[in-house]
């Protein structure tokens, strides 16, 4: 989960009275999602589910030059998506108490990932 890391890297959020943040991951084998942020079993179950839905080594895959996890990673990225838009109010992301932002890595051994953040909104008086 990358919620806290994103908030720490984007102090501009605290200056927004009302607005939106758009997050976009610049990769085709990773995705972004909002889900349960308290119980780590959710991550385990999500991985188990998606590994079954988009399994490695399926005989019908043609895109296999980069490894057995490459095509399943692309499928998982399409299913989950590569962008999120989240409301901002009073300098805070307006997610539910149990929600967190996931960077979902779909490769077995991946490099670093880059997320582009765009913040739009009204700056509030009295906000940092």
User: For residue 25, what are the β-bridge partners?
Assistant: 115
Question: How many folded domains does the chain comprise?
Answer: 1
Report the CATH number at residue 12.
2.60.120.460
- Residue 108 maps to a domain: yes
H or E segment to which residue 30 belongs: strand 30-36
**Could you tell me if residue 33 is inside a domain?**
yes
- As a whole number, the mean pLDDT across the chain is 95
pTM, to two decimals: 0.92
What CA–CA distances, in Å, run from 19 to 10, 38, 86, 88?
14, 26, 9, 5
Alpha helices in 10-110 (DSSP H): 41-53, 70-80
Residue 95 lies in a domain: yes
Residue 128 falls within a domain, yes or no? Answer: no
Model confidence over 54-89: pLDDT tens digits? 999 999 999 999 999 999 999 999 999 999 999 999
Closest CA to 104 of 40, 47, 23: 47
In which domain, by residue range, is 83 found? 3-123
Helices (H), ranges, 19-69: 41-53
Q: What is the pLDDT of residues 90-106, one digit of tens each?
A: 999 999 999 999 999 99
What pLDDT does residue 125 have?
74
Q: How many CA atoms lie within 13 A of 121 on its CB side?
A: 26
Distance CA 120, CA 13 (A): 9
DSSP conformational letter for 5: H
User: Edge to edge, what strands does the sheet with 115-123 contain?
Assistant: 92-93, 83-89, 16-25, 115-123
């Amino acid at each position: 989960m990358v919620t806290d890391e994103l908030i720490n890297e984007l102090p501009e959020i605290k200056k927004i009275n009302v607005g939106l943040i758009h997050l976009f991951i610049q990769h085709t084998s990773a995705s972004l999602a909002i889900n349960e942020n308290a119980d780590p079993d959710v991550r385990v179950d999500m991985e188990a589910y998606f590994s079954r839905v988009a399994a490695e080594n399926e005989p019908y895959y043609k895109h296999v030059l980069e490894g057995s996890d490459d095509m399943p990673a692309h499928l998982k990225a399409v299913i989950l998506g590569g962008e999120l838009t989240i409301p901002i109010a009073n300098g805070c992301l307006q997610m539910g108490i149990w929600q967190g932002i996931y960077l979902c890595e779909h490769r077995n051994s991946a490099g670093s990932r880059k997320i582009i953040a765009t913040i739009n909104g009204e700056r509030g008086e009295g906000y940092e």
